[in-house]
């Protein structure tokens, strides 16, 4: 029998994950299917029950369930316990195992482009679930230090404590205190949701140069105002879709145990824009 997969979240109708995974199935001739399934906040337990009933083989989790989903796991991979949030689940005979592929997904485009982040100074904007996976990634790759800027200072302070516990030198500031200091960093990451609705970037990027890496995790639209400002300064750009692709590739490999067809998945993703 064919295998079945899903992505759960709310909203979910604009998710590109079904396109990406279906393209991989076609490319490799796998008898599998992948659907988007809307589960509103507060209905996660029932939703998971339904997925178990139909013997789903695996699923991705997106906003707003990434943290709450931890409660319904039978087994927890190290990536998942470290980050405290889950975005990928495998189901083996009713045993749900959780993974977090956001960290690897974030690092993947940097590795593909051979951009070394060992010893770099990082400015991270945002302190939510995605930011936490990114902090774990910079700790793993031994960045020199990270400044976490967030609208709500308390959340930045908490995330900065987490960074220190995993061996990364960190400090927390409010976004407005970044002022004209962007040029002092080697890599600047937007991990807020700002840009999704075409808003202006929360910071200015004046003074950065062609060696500065600017990474936006917002993938829709592809060219956010933040990316446009970085391009104007001739910085090295990493788009949000590259992280999305990276985490999808990792999820695919967890579920199927074979190498993911990267190019077919990328093509399907870019076709979705």
Total length of the chain: 273
CA distance 86 to 75: 11
Q: What binding mask, one character per residue, do residues 137-156 give for ligand ATR by CB under 6 A, x or -? A: -------------xxx--x-
Site string for ligand ATR, 36-65 (x = CB under 6 A): ---------------------------x--
What is the smallest separation between the CB atom of 62 and ligand ATR, expressed in angstroms?
8
Closest CB to ligand ATR among residues 122, 130 = 130
Catalytic residue among 52, 66, 92, 266, which? 66
DSSP states along 112-126: HTT---TT-EEEEE-
**Euclidean distance between CA atoms 167 and 14, whole angstroms:** 37
Interatomic CA distance for residues 172 and 169, integer angstroms: 11
Candidate residues 36, 39, 48, 130; the one interacting with ligand ATR per rule CB under 6 A: 130
CA proximity to 201, closest of 184, 182, 173: 182
Least separation in angstroms between CB 9 and ligand ATR:
11
Which residues 6+ apart lie within 8 Å of 184 measured at CB? 121, 123
Instruction: Give least dist CB 225 to ligand ATR, A.
Output: 13
**CA separation for the pair 260, 171 (Å, rounded):** 37
Q: How far is the CB of 106 from ligand ATR (least distance, A)?
A: 12
Taking CB under 6 A as the criterion, the residue among 202, 203, 244, 249 binding ligand ATR is 202
Binding mask 150-189 for ligand ATR (x = CB under 6 A): xxx--x----------------------------------
Q: Which residue has the tokens 């140069």?
A: 209
Of the candidates 18, 105, 109, 129, which one interacts with ligand ATR according to CB under 6 A?
129
In the complex, the smallest distance separating the C-beta of residue 179 from ligand ATR, rounded to whole angstroms, is 16
> What strand order describes the sheet that includes 58-61?
32-38, 3-9, 58-61, 88-92, 95-99, 75-76
Alpha-helix residue ranges (DSSP H) falling in the chain = 17-28, 44-53, 78-83, 102-112, 129-140, 153-165, 225-232, 240-256, 262-271
For ligand ATR, give the closer residue by CB, 24 or 202. Answer: 202
Torsional class of 188: left (φ above 0), alpha (ψ -120 to 50), beta (otherwise): beta
By beta-carbon proximity to ligand ATR, the closer residue of 53 and 197 is 197
For ligand ATR, the nearest residue by Cβ is 128
Total residues contacting ligand ATR (rule CB under 6 A)?
Answer: 15
126 sits near ligand ATR (criterion: CB under 6 A) = yes
66 is catalytic: yes
Active site residues: 66
The residues binding ligand ATR (CB under 6 A) are 63, 126-131, 150-152, 155, 192-194, 202
């Amino acid at each position: 029998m064919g295998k079945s997969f899903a992505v759960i979240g709310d909203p979910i109708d604009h998710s590109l994950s079904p396109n990406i995974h279906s393209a991989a199935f076609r490319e490799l001739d796998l008898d599998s299917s992948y659907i988007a399934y809307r589960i509103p906040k507060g209905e996660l337990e029932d939703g998971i029950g339904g997925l178990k009933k139909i013997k789903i083989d695996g699923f991705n989790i997106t906003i707003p369930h990434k943290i709450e989903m931890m409660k319904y796991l039978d087994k927890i991979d190290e990536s998942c316990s470290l980050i405290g949030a889950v975005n990928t689940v495998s189901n083996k005979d009713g045993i749900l195992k959780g993974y977090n592929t956001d960290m690897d997904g974030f690092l993947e485009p940097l590795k593909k482009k051979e951009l070394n982040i060992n010893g770099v100074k990082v400015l991270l904007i945002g302190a939510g679930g995605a930011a936490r996976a990114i902090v774990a990634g910079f700790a793993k790759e031994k960045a020199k230090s990270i400044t976490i800027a967030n609208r709500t200072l308390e959340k930045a302070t908490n995330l900065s404590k987490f960074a220190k516990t995993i061996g990364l030198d960190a400090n927390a500031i409010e976004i407005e205190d970044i002022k004209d200091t962007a040029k002092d960093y080697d890599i600047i990451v937007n991990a807020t949701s700002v840009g999704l609705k075409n808003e202006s970037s929360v910071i200015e990027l004046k003074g950065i140069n062609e060696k500065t890496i600017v990474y936006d995790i917002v993938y829709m639209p592809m060219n956010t105002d933040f990316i446009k400002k970085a391009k104007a300064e001739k910085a090295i750009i990493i788009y949000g879709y590259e992280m999305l692709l990276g985490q999808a590739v990792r999820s695919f490999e967890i579920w199927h145990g074979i190498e993911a067809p990267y190019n077919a998945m990328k093509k399907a993703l870019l076709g979705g824009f």
